[in-house]
């Protein structure tokens, strides 16, 4: 079962997704896409780890999400988050279509529960620089593909989950 969770920054989407994963039997894998490059990110990661507590195995992977999903034989995975992963792909000059196609294929063949978290970035103004526009365009395309393959799709606003697709 694929559950796509989308929301703005600090909307409560990660906490909601963690609670959803914990409805399934442990162990749970937390597939973290963030690259820890500054003190603020270290603090954010520490808060997330403390909140999760026992029963979680954390795997840090900033690029090859499909490989991790394809090689794990667990019941439940939480991927947090797609927009950081997309940023990593852009910064590393990776082929976005190829990488997202591999990822989407891995999701559709996974035989467990997988919850995917991402940031909604398309509701603001159009940025004035090419890289930011490319990021928003790629995120929008990826989010549409995620919504299409997801069995469930939840938007989280101010800590309140809104079921878009049940």
List residues with catalytic annotation.
Answer: 48
Give me the sign of the Cα torsion angle 57, 59, 60, 62.
negative
Binding residues: 7-14, 32-34, 60, 80
Taking a C-beta distance cutoff of 8 angstroms, is the pair 83, 117 a contact? Answer: no
Q: How far apart are CA 5 and CA 65, in angstroms?
A: 17
Angle between helices 82-91 and 96-109 (to 10 degrees): 150
Binding residues for GTP: 7-14, 32-34, 60, 80
């Amino acid at each position: 079962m694929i559950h796509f969770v989308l929301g703005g920054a600090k909307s409560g989407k990660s906490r909601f997704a963690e609670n959803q994963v914990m409805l399934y039997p442990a162990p749970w894998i937390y597939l973290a896409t963030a690259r820890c490059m500054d003190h603020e990110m270290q603090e954010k990661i520490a808060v997330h780890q403390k909140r999760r507590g026992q029963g979680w195995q954390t795997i840090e992977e900033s690029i090859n999400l499909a490989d991790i999903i394809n090689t794990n034989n667990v019941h439940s995975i939480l991927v947090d988050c797609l927009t950081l992963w997309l940023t990593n792909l852009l910064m590393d000059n990776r082929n976005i279509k190829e990488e997202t196609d591999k990822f989407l294929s891995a999701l559709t063949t996974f035989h467990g529960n997988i919850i995917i978290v991402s940031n909604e970035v398309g509701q603001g103004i159009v940025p004035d620089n090419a890289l930011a526009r490319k990021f928003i365009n790629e995120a929008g395309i990826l989010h549409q593909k995620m919504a299409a393959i997801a069995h469930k799709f939840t938007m989280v606003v101010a800590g309140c989950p809104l079921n878009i697709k049940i």
